[in-house]
Amino acid sequence: MKSIIGRAATLAALALAALSAAAQTEISFYYPVAVGGPITKIVDAYAADFEKENPAIKVKPIYAGTYQETIVKALTAHKSGTPPVTSVLLSTDMFTLIDEDAIVPFDDIATSAEDKAWIKSFYPAFMANSQTGGKTWGIPFQRSTIVLYWNKELFKEAGLDPNKPPATWREMLDYAQKLTKRDAAGNATQWGLQIPSSGFPYWLFQGLTTPNGVELMNATGTQTYFDKPEVIEALAYWVDLGRRHKVMSTGVIEWGTTPKDFFERKIAMMWTTTGNLTNVRNNAKFDFGVAMLPASKRRGSPTGGGNFYVFKKSTKEQQQAALKFIKFVTTPERAAQWGIETGYVAVRPDAWETAKMQEYVKGFPVAAVARDQLQFSVAELSTHDNQRVTKALNDGIQAALTGAKTPEQAMKDAQAEAARILRAAR
């Protein structure tokens, strides 16, 4: 009798042990898809490969839409008590996430010496939007900068050297004037330049303010500088392109259709994200070039794109599992592969040194332009109550571009609004 009970108890204990060993840590992972291509497939493959190496962890990738939609979903989930364990969100959402007490700094989970070295291995330009108050809150994953694409055939037609992109604002205007074609009635059939202004014009605006030597906010996200004279100057340059020099369409130009405009040869030069590189490569039926943004007082561009964040309302095991996954996905080889397949900029210098990346760059040199621009790049506009502040700036830019306000008035109003919002946020 005793032995049977004894054996049953041992069996039960063994079963229990086996069950708890088989108990997995599950991490849910929201990610946005901002570029085309089989992103969901790649992410699913990463999850599967990671699970193979780490059988105790289960990764659930959840495709959540655009950056905007993903932050809404993540915060929605956080407020209702069941946030994802980790998510890729805009690097500029950092202050919002901190204010909502939604995320943990990586310093709290990445504690070993090896981990600390890993945090240091990313490009400083990308870390600018990822660190504040001496702590690291985000790890760069899919990052980008703005670049200028140009149609080499149209350059040749206009008598310009097809291999020499404009390097200064003076040159860009000059080239654009040569590249703008009109028909007999005076209507433009081809615009020299296109800088889109729908949705998030502030980002492209930073492609003008940074070269003009000015930053739009302070490092702690508590102050904005929209009404500095260099900022107003940059806006005036942008507005004049359309309204005075007539090398660009007036009004607000749609971001989503700009690549298509380029493929249709309706525009000769366009400003858009380096994330569009693969798209342009596949769809442009002509020779094209990619260049850094032209300089005014210096070269410059904002960075863009998304970081990994780890959410607070998760267990310690889940946070460690998430950290493992994030490290897995940002090894030099995977960072290189992600950059090659999507057109994003590989986020760490040693990724560019891998054999695969070097081969890729040799065959497609323009892929390195965005990387080379990193040394001139600054943080993307990011403040507390970020959405509201950027909306104030966006509205101001659009008001100037549509002629509703002068650049000076528009920026003064935007600054006043931003100051009011930031005061209330404190």
Q: Write down the least CB distance from residue 355 to other proteins, Å.
A: 28
Residue 241 interacts with other proteins (CB under 8 A): yes or no: no
Total residues belonging to the chain = 426
Residue 255 interacts with other proteins (CB under 8 A): yes or no: yes
User: Are 241 and 247 contacting, i.e. CB atoms less than 8 angstroms apart?
Assistant: yes
User: Are 34 and 67 contacting, i.e. CB atoms less than 8 angstroms apart?
Assistant: yes
Residues binding other proteins: number (CB under 8 A): 68
Residue 54 interacts with other proteins (CB under 8 A): yes or no: no
Gap between the terminal Cα atoms of the chain = 72
Query: For residues 387 and 379, what is the distance between their CA atoms, to the nearest angstrom?
Result: 16
For other proteins, which is the closer residue by CB, 63 or 328? 63
Q: Write down the least CB distance from residue 228 to other proteins, Å.
A: 22
Radius of gyration of the chain measured on its C-alpha atoms: 24
Residue 279 interacts with other proteins (CB under 8 A): yes or no: yes
Position among 19, 185, 423, 426 found at the interface with other proteins (CB under 8 A): 185
- Cβ-in-10-Å burial (0-12, 13-18, 19+) of 272 comes to buried
Residue 63 interacts with other proteins (CB under 8 A): yes or no: yes
What tokens appear for 174 in the block? 């000059």
Report how far apart, in Å, the C-alpha atoms of 350 and of each of 50, 210, 334, 335, 355 are.
21, 27, 11, 9, 10
Q: Write down the least CB distance from residue 256 to other proteins, Å.
A: 4
Q: Write down the least CB distance from residue 218 to other proteins, Å.
A: 21
Residue 66 interacts with other proteins (CB under 8 A): yes or no: yes
Q: Which stretch binds other proteins (CB under 8 A): 3-11, 108-116, 126-134, 255-263?
A: 255-263
Tally DSSP H helices, then E strands, for the chain: 20, 13
Q: Write down the least CB distance from residue 265 to other proteins, Å.
A: 10
* DSSP strands (E only) in 49-111: 57-63, 86-90, 103-104
Residue 287 interacts with other proteins (CB under 8 A): yes or no: no
Q: Write down the least CB distance from residue 199 to other proteins, Å.
A: 6
Report how far apart, in Å, the C-alpha atoms of 283 and of each of 174, 280, 300, 360 are.
27, 5, 28, 19
Binding residues (CB under 8 A) for other proteins: these are: 30, 33-36, 38, 40-41, 62-66, 68-69, 72-73, 75-77, 79-80, 82, 99-101, 144, 185-189, 197-199, 249-261, 264, 266, 272-273, 275-276, 279, 283, 285, 385, 387-388, 391, 394-395, 398-399, 401-402, 404
